[in-house]
Amino acid sequence: MDRKLTLTATLAAALAGLSGCSSSDDLGPRASSDTRVCVDDWGQRIDDDSCEGGRRYAGAGSFFYLRRGAPIPYYYESVRDKKYAKFGSYNRGSGIYAPAPASTNMARSSAVARGGLGSSGRSFGSRGG
């Protein structure tokens, strides 16, 4: 009987952990200090090299300034999205703005739907006579 109790407790803990990992409200890493990210004309985050040195050419970006504690968007996420926009501005305030941490210099991928036992699961075998 102890074995059932252990298995049940372990399963409950695992399920509780999974629900925290897959939240649709997950904003990712937070800025530990005032932070700047480079964005294109559509507000999508791009590589900082496009903003460095004051270059302004086709495809170049502008810095978007996030305050301490703000969620940091990954590449190609829009700072115009309400989950980011309320934490920053295109206007640089006073102070020093650090570049975003290297751990956020990547694109977040979306989940990929694979075949399974959904509606296509009914088509196993054949209907022969």
In a domain, 72, yes or no: yes
> First-to-last CA distance in the chain?
50
| Banded model confidence at residue 61, pLDDT cuts 50, 70, 90 | confident
In a domain, 1, yes or no: no
| Cα–Cα dist 58/54, whole Å | 13
In a domain, 102, yes or no: no
In a domain, 66, yes or no: yes
Averaged pLDDT, 92-121: 77
pTM exceeding 0.75? no
Using left for φ > 0, alpha for ψ between -120 and 50, and beta otherwise, residue 54 falls in: left
Averaged pLDDT, 107-113: 71
50 pLDDT more than 60: yes
In a domain, 122, yes or no: no
Closest CA to 87 of 106, 102, 68: 68
The count of domains in the chain is 1
In a domain, 50, yes or no: yes
For residues 57 and 97, the model is more confident at 97
24 pLDDT more than 80: no
State the residue range of the domain holding 41: 35-96
In a domain, 15, yes or no: no
In a domain, 82, yes or no: yes
